[in-house]
Each structure stands twice: as C-alpha cells, then as structure tokens.
Chain A
Amino acid sequence: MSDAPVIAVERLSKAYAGGFEALKEVSLTIRRGEIFALLGPNGAGKTTLISVICGLVNATAGRVLVDGHDNVRDFRAARERIGLVPQELTNEAFVTVWDTVSFSRGLFGKGKDPAHIEKVLRSLSLWDKRDNRLITLSGGMKRRVLIAKALAHEPEILFLDEPTAGVDVELRRDMWEVVRQLRDSGVTIILTTHYIEEAEEMADRIGVIRRGELVLVEEKHALMRKLGSKELTLHLREPLEAIPAALSRHALALAEEGHALVYTYDANEPDEDQAGIAELLADLEAAGIGFKDLHTRQSSLEEIFVSLVRETA
C-alpha cells in the first residue's frame, strides 16, 4: 500500500443558500488504514464535511481527492471506494435485510456475491435477521443494517456519521469492536462523534472541528500527552505582583490576582528542561515565598475540547 493519503481535502468551503458558512477552507488528509475521529459540537460542520466528500453536498470551493481521484470530475472512481453510514436511520421499511444489503452492492456497481453479503451480515450479527423486514428491527439493529449496506460493495474507506448516537452502552461497545475489526481488515475509517470518550477509545488521530473550521488535528497519543499535563496550584500567603526572577526557570504563571502560582508540568514524561517540583519548592523557600495550600489537577481531553470549541472567533 502506498503512503499517499487515501483522502485529501484541499481548502474546502461550503456556504449554504442562506449564506451560512458550514465549512471554511478546511484542509485535511486521511492516512490509509487509520481510524480518524472528527470531533465537534452539533452544527460544527462534521456532517457537511462528510457529505461533501461522499457527494451528497456540492462544495462552494476547494476539492476532494479520494485515492487520487477528484470526487466531482472522477466521481465514479472516488465514490466506489467509499461506504457511508448516515446519522439518521433511513430505510425502506418493507424490504428484508438481505434484499436491502444486496441492493446496496448492486447500486455501487458490483455483481452479486452472496458469500460476501453473508460474511458482512455475520460480522454484524445480522445473519439471523436476514429475512426480517427492516420495519421489525430495533434501532440498534437498523444501525447495523446501515453499516452492512455501506460495507456491501467492499469499500476501502468507511464513513460513520455519529455511529453510536442514541445507542445503548452495550451496543456501543459492540460497534467499537466492529469498527476495530474493519480497521484490522485494512479499511480506513472516518467517524464523527461528539462523544470524547468515543474518540479517545477508537481513534488513531483526532480532528476537532468548530464552526466550520478544523481547529486541531493531532495523533491521539499526542493529545493523551496533553492529557498527561498537570497543574500544580500554590495558594500564596502574600500576593505577588510579578514572578520573581529567581523563579524564572520554572514554567510558572500567576493566577487569582497574584494570590496563586500555577506550575504546569508533565507527569508522564518529565522534561529535561524543566526542573521539577522538588526544585521549584526549594527555590520558593529560598526566595522566601510561603504558601498556605496546594493542589494538583490533571487536564482532560474534555477540557481541551471544551476550551477549543468555546473560544470565540
């Protein structure tokens, strides 16, 4: 497999008829075989981004390459590589599971292959339900059917739009397991979610989208390292106007109008440049700065996320 990105989104913009800008010059590359989580609050543009890539929405500017194929000019080559699982449970009510999944395969231009359909249905625990009409299935089962439909034509790339929205905890675990198995079989997966837990659990990389802008794309492990960053807050006996020169080698900040000193450090991987807590305390004592209380706090991905999406533009 080549190292070329499986999807390249280049300066993609989308303004809807009313003037609402859903996407603002979004650029993003997806690596072959990864699980990429697109994280963002409702209305941030996650679904619009997916919809443009899959051909459901026309872009206003920019372009999308799927495995090197422009998704507008060379839409057949681009689209046959993609499977899409939409957010809404949309189905014809009166057809059977088997028929609707077979329909999807044919619609994407692939010849009949009952063995493949069987494999897909079994992997999603739908085999026993193959002759059931869709209307008789539970919500969780319907979502599985949508996944089966998206996998029917053996796509290299699978988009999952909010795969676990409105799904109970147990089914969510199952869904994650299914996604992992797919990734292991070589499928690239892009999922959107507003559950941080989900992104943390599943993704290799995480992108955060806010008001149509991609504000962060990072390896999950890098984010986890940020997660590992801790804060030590010292409540001082006497307020300080500025951080004394004697303490300048420490990563310190003043807070609470000089009543507190905040020291940020990495608990997992102590940095060579940083002197560490012990030395900070020694320096404080030498400088004659007393404190009455201290506490430490770990920032979570949730906080990083919330601060990112709350920032005003």
Chain B
Amino acid sequence: MNLQSVKTLYLAEMARSLRTVLQSIVSPVISTSLYFVVFGAAIGTRISEVNGVSYGAFIVPGLIMLMLLTQSVSNASFGIFFPRFSGSIYEILSAPISYWEIVIGYVGAAATKSVVLGLIVLATARLFVPYSIAHPLMMVVFLLLTAVTFSLLGFIIGIWADGFEKLQLVPLLVITPLTFLGGTFYSIDMLPPFWQAVTLANPVVYLVSGFRWSFYGISDVSPVVSLGMILLFLTAALVVVERIFRTGYRLKP
C-alpha cells in the first residue's frame, strides 16, 4: 500500500472542499435545516405522533439520510469527474498507485465529508426539534456504511458520466425521488398495502428505516434486514468498481 500517495490524494480532495466551504458545507446544512424548520418546528407540531415519536423528531434521521446520500454521490462523482474533464487525471493514472488506492483516496474523502456534514446537521437539528439516540454505536455504523456505499456509487457515476448533464442526472432523477419516497417524511405503514409492497423495492427505505431504528428503536423493516441490504449495496458497488478497473472503462483505453 502506497500510504503517502493515498494520503496526498485524500488531503487534496479534502482541501478542495475547504476551498469551496460555502458550497460544500454551508449550503447542505442550511437547506437541510430549512426542512427542520418547515416540517419539524412549523408544520410538524400539527401532525400527530408517528409510532410514539413526535413528527419533528421522526423526520430527523430521514433528512440526515437524504443529505448523506445526495452529498456522498455528488462529492464523489465530482471528485473523479473533474480530473477526467480537465485532463489532469493523467497524473493520477501515471502515478505509482493502484486503482484501489485511488478509490480509497477519492471515496474516503467524499465519505468523510458526508459523515462530517451528517454530524453537523444532526447537531443543527437539535436547535429545532428534540430527539434522542437509542443506539449511538449502530447510528454511527449506519452513517459510515451509507456514506461509503453512496460515495462509491458517486465514484462510479463520475467515471460513467461524459458530461456535466449526466453527472447531475442520477442525483436529480434517481437519488432525490427515491429518498423522498423512501420513508423520509412518513412511515411506510401509513401507505395503502399495495404501495407498501412497491416501496419495499426502494433501497432507500432500508437505509432510512435502519437509521431511524438507531434513533428511536422503531422501524419499518427489521434493522438486521436494513444492515444486510446496506452491505449488499456496498458489495454491489465494489463489484462494479472492480469491473471498471479490470476493463479500464472510461479511464484507460
């Protein structure tokens, strides 16, 4: 393992987000906080409790997940897309560094950023709604696994995209809808039976449900199933990344 190289890549990626601190940190925190204000503090007080949890507190884990997924995907995809776009990828490909070390650098930095953001948003939420965390350790595990998995997905998108439009396409058309329909704002047992069944095909349901369980001990699906699903997504992402490297797809003609 070429630690020096990985460290350099990782720190350069972290430095890039610090250079754009407004865009990469302040803006997601503010936009997520707006949800807390509107749905938690304002409208939430008029909505009845969900499974014994006040609505404002109920949506906290889901909103953090929403931000975590969006940020992981966009950070990681932009991180690898930009050097491809500018051409400076030549330096990374010609360095004495393996593909997996490149992944650790980029995905590690993207995941770190999302986790930090997640924790900032969690702290900010406290200003608007009271909540409790029943299983802090599992909360961190869910947070980390989700951040890494979706940063890997972002990395894949950043390699697949051949223009800025495609780069935006997946987060906009796939991630955001799936998150909104994945039980961020509601418990899926509020839905008619048919839509409950359909919803179970949405991977985000398992992430939100597991994460919410770590807060309040309530969940739509068993936390074990949630954990299993996250590990499944993680494995799938790793398999795809491995294939990309083996074939040199979009990186190495």
A interface residue numbers (CB < 8 A to B): 16-17, 54-58, 75-80, 82, 84, 86, 88, 90-94, 99, 103-104, 106-111, 149
Q: Which of B92-131 contact A (CB under 8 A)?
A: 92-98
In the complex, the 7 A-B pairs of residues with the closest C-beta atoms, listed nearest first:
A106-B8, A90-B87, A76-B96, A79-B96, A80-B96, A54-B94, A109-B4
Q: State whether the Cβ of B192 lies closer than 8 Å to any Cβ in chain A.
A: no
Q: Which of A17, A56, A110 contacts B4 (CB 8 A)?
A: A110
Given A56-B252, A58-B252, A94-B19, A107-B97 contact (CB < 8 Å): yes
A-facing mask of B4-18, CB < 8 A → 1, else 0?
110111011001000
Tell me which of A56, A84, A91, A107 contacts B5 (CB under 8 A): A107
* Min CB gap B178→A, angstroms: 32
* Residue contact B12 to A109, C-beta cutoff 8 Å: no
Contact (Cβ within 8 A) A91 B88: yes
Q: Is the interface of A mostly helix, strand, loop or mixed?
A: loop
| Chain A residues whose C-beta falls within 8 Å of the C-beta of B98 in the assembled complex | 75-76
Assembled-state Cα–Cα distance A77/B98 (Å): 12
Please report the total number of B residues contacting A with Cβ < 8 Å. 27
Determine if B195 is an interface residue (Cβ-Cβ < 8 Å): no
Q: Are B5 and A55 in contact (CB under 8 A)?
A: no
- Which B residues lie within 8 Å of A79 (CB)? 94-96
Using Cβ atoms and an 8 Å threshold, which residues of chain A touch B8? 103, 106-107
Residues of A within 8 A of B5 (CB): 106-109
In the bound complex, do residue A82 and residue B94 qualify as a contact, i.e. CB atoms below 8 Å apart?
yes
- Set of chain A residues within 8 Å of B11, measured between Cβ atoms: 106
CA A124 to CA B253, docked complex, whole Å:
33
> Is B189 among interface residues, defined by CB-CB distance under 8 A?
no
CB closest residue in chain A, given B85: A90
Contact of B132 with A by CB under 8 A: no
The residues of B that contact A76 with a CB separation of less than 8 Å are 2, 96-98
- Please determine whether B97 and A109 come into contact, CB atoms closer than 8 angstroms: yes
5 residue pairs A–B, Cβ–Cβ below 8 Å: A84-B90, A91-B86, A103-B12, A106-B4, A107-B91
| Residues of chain A lying within 8 A (CB to CB) of residue B12 | 103
Q: A108 to B95, Cβ gap below 8 A?
A: yes
Query: Which residues of chain B have a CB within 8 Å of any CB of chain A?
Result: 2, 4-5, 7-9, 11-12, 15, 19, 82-83, 86-88, 90-98, 248, 252-253
Residues from chain B with a CB closer than 8 A to the CB of A55 are 93-94
Contact of B91 among A77, A78, A93, A104 (CB under 8 A): A104
- A55 vs B95: C-alpha distance in the bound complex, in angstroms? 8
Complexed CA–CA distance, A106 and B91 (Å): 12
Min CB distance A192 to B, Å, is 15
Taking a contact as CB atoms closer than 8 A, the residue among B88, B90, B97 that contacts A92 in the complex is B88
Q: Which of chain A's residues have a CB closer than 8 A to the CB of B94? A: 54-56, 79, 82, 84
Closest A residue to B95 using CB positions: A107
- Shortest A84–chain B CB gap in Å is 5
By beta carbon, the residue of chain B nearest A74 is: B96
B96 to A75, Cβ gap below 8 A?
Answer: yes
Chain A residues with Cβ below 8 Å from B2 are: 76, 109
Q: Whole-angstrom distance from the CB of B180 to the nearest CB of chain A?
A: 34
Nearest-Cβ distance from residue B219 to partner chain A, whole angstroms: 44
Contacts known (A88-B87, A107-B5, A110-B4); A58 close to B248, Cβ less than 8 A: yes
Tell me whether A86 and B87 are in contact in the complex, defined as CB-CB below 8 angstroms, given that A17-B253, A106-B8 are known contacts.
Answer: yes
* In the complex, chain A residues whose CB is within 8 Å of the CB of B248: 58
Q: In the assembled complex, which residues on chain A have CB atoms less than 8 Å from the CB atom of B95?
A: 79, 107-109
B12 and chain A: residue at smallest CB distance:
A103
In the complex, what distance in Å separates the CA atom of A94 from the CA atom of B86? 12
B15 neighbours in A (Cβ, 8 Å): 99
Task: Identify A108's interface contact among B86, B88, B90, B96, CB under 8 A.
Answer: B96
CB closest residue in chain A, given B19: A94
Which chain A residues lie closer than 8 Å to B253 at the CB level?
Answer: 16-17, 57-58
- Nearest B residue (CB) for A88: B87
Provide the residues of chain A in CB contact with B92, threshold 8 Å: 107
Contact B4 A90, beta carbon cutoff 8 Å: no
Given contact pairs A79-B95, A106-B4, a sample of 9 additional A-B residue pairs in the complex whose CB atoms are under 8 Å apart: A76-B98, A79-B96, A90-B86, A92-B82, A103-B12, A106-B8, A107-B97, A108-B95, A149-B91
Taking each of A17, A88, A106, which has the highest tally of chain B beta carbons within 10 Å of its own beta carbon? A106
Q: How far is the CA of A86 from the CA of B94 in the complex (A)?
A: 11
- B25, chain A: closest CB distance, angstroms: 17
Residue of A whose beta carbon sits closest to that of B252: A58
CA distance A79 to B96 in the complex (A): 5
Give chain B residues whose Cβ lies under 8 Å from the Cβ of A92. 82-83, 86, 88
On whether the beta carbons of B88 and A90 are closer than 8 Å, the reply is: yes
A54 and B92 CA atoms in complex are apart in Å by 11
The answer for the CA separation of A75 and B101 in the assembled complex, in Å, is 13
Q: How far is the CB of A223 from chain B (nearest CB, A)?
A: 30
